[in-house]
Amino acid sequence: MPASAVTGGVLTIDLAAIEANWKRLAGMTLPVECAAVVKGDGYGCGLEPVTTRLYKAGCRTLFVADVAEGRRVRAIAAEATIYVLDGVMPGTAPALAQANLRPVLNSPTELAEWDAFVATTGWQGGAALHIDTGMNRLGLTVDEGVAIAARAKSETHGFTLLMSHFACADTSDHPLNDRQVRLFRELRILYRGIPSSLANSSGIFLGGTVHCDLVRPGAALYGVNPTPGRANPMKPVIELKGRIIQVRHVGKGESIGYGAAFATARPTRLAVVAVGYADGYARAGGAVKGKTGAEAIVAGRRCPVVGRVSMDVLAIDVTDLPDGSARRGDFATLIGGGIGVDELGAANGTIGYEVLTSLGRRYHRVYKGG
């Protein structure tokens, strides 16, 4: 019996689409290098298959979250430059060097610890210096960055990349974008000769003046729209289907799901699907009183998800479908067929990033385009 027959959902990941998305962004930013962010298990799509595909396609700079991810990427991409965004955790400098990983230094404390390690061992693998220009999350302050800028004139400064991160690039006219661009431009002058990077996925679409020496797309590679409010320029990457395990009839005025948060306004036919929040489909995905929910595609038509999503199942209202068109054992399309990760994220009160990185491990995974 095939594995897909004994699982509640099938997740199909299109590696060719990921490659096409990377190549599109790389083509848009020439001659600037286009890296790839593969953290979060390749945004939920699988770190190893995603890295393998992008590395074969020519991507030579990759960003991960931590040392564990970096080691997995290094096993595949032997010659790649790999940056660890979480930087130097206490005592982790030797592990970074052992796997030939470059930390993104996010504070003076990290910089001091890294400098001590380099001075003691003579390691010359380099590191990125992250200066915060407005995100207020990680990174040295601008003043701290200015204070150590004289170091860039030394031949042994040890920095292979100067970077910052947009906070609002997905809102192209947000005033913080201009402020961050201006601050980073001034920093680049102080760190002249060191490659620089500012643009994430959405930042790439702000124009060539922010591309610097390296762009580092993440979510756009996996089909998230980097230009909200406009047509998505990226190819969709995932399709998620859930198996219908029961079709049942519910009378008018009956409640559905936990908390009786949804009540039927008519005699209703439900398709109960074997996917729930344990699989990464948000509990808030179904319609409840005063709130519409997500949609799914059953028998070629969009139908609403109703009631609170349970750990292992969700309910779809298929009343408007012809009798017999939704059957036990059939599949409902939860992502795909025009329902993108951004649409599902919005219906769940979140974003496409969270939809992707929450994809559960119970699905039968199919990789195509390999």
Catalytic hit among 39, 83, 241, 353: 39
Residue recorded with tokens 């005033």 = 175
Known catalytic residue at 368: no
Among residues 56, 153, 252, 258, the one annotated as catalytic is 258
DSSP 11-61: EEEEHHHHHHHHHHHHHHHTTSEE-EE-HHHHHTT-HHHHHHHHHHHT--E
1, pLDDT greater than 60: no
Phi-psi region of 225 (alpha: psi -120 to 50; beta: other; left: phi over 0): beta
Residue 251 has pLDDT above 80, yes or no: yes
**pLDDT above 90 as % of the chain:** 92
Give which of 240, 296, 274 is closest to 45, Cα–Cα.
Answer: 240
Asked if residue 268 has pLDDT above 70, the reply is yes
Cβ contacts of residue 179 below 8 Å, gap of 6+? 133, 134
Which residues lie across from 255 on neighbouring strands? 263
- What was the pLDDT predicted at 337? 94
pLDDT band at 3 (very low <50, low <70, confident <90, very high): low
Question: Would the CATH topology of 32-222 be identical to that of 238-368?
Answer: no
User: Of 79, 83, 75, 78, which is closest to residue 38 (Cα–Cα)?
Assistant: 83
Which pair of structure tokens corresponds to residue 214? 């390296």
Q: Return the residue matching tokens 């059953």.
A: 298
**CATH architecture label of 238-368:** Beta Barrel (2.40)
Is it true that the peptide bond before 2 is cis, omega within 30 degrees of 0? no
Give the three-state DSSP class for 230. coil
| Count of H-run helices and E-run strands, the chain | 11, 19
Inform me whether the pLDDT recorded for 55 exceeds 80.
yes
Q: Of 27, 85, 21, give the one whose Cα is nearest residue 211.
A: 27
pLDDT band of residue 8 (cuts 50, 70, 90) is confident
E strand or H helix that includes residue 268? strand 268-273
Q: Which of 325, 329, 356, 354 is nearest to 273 (CA)?
A: 329
| Rounded Cα distance, 69 and 63, in Å | 9
Mean pLDDT of 148-177: 93
pLDDT band at 7 (very low <50, low <70, confident <90, very high): confident
Instruction: Please tell me the distance from the alpha carbon of residue 39 to that of residue 312, in angstroms, as a whole number.
Output: 27
* Dmax (CA) of the chain: 77
Distance CA 173, CA 141 (A): 24
Predicted local confidence at residue 309, as pLDDT? 96
State the pTM of this model.
Answer: 0.94
* Three-state SS at 296: strand
pLDDT score of 186 more than 60: yes
Share of the chain above pLDDT 70, in %: 99
* Two tokens, residue 104: 């993104």
**CATH code, 32-222:** 3.20.20.10
Tens of pLDDT, residue by residue over 81-114, are 999 999 999 999 999 999 999 999 999 999 999 9
| Residue 319: both structure tokens together | 């009343």
Is 258 considered catalytic here? Answer: yes
Mean pLDDT of 207-223: 95
pLDDT single digits (tens) 272-311: 999 999 999 999 999 898 889 999 999 999 999 999 999 9
Query: Could you tell me which residue, 360 or 22, shows the higher pLDDT?
Result: 22
**Does the pLDDT of residue 332 top 80, yes or no?**
yes
Domain boundaries, the chain: 32-222, 238-368
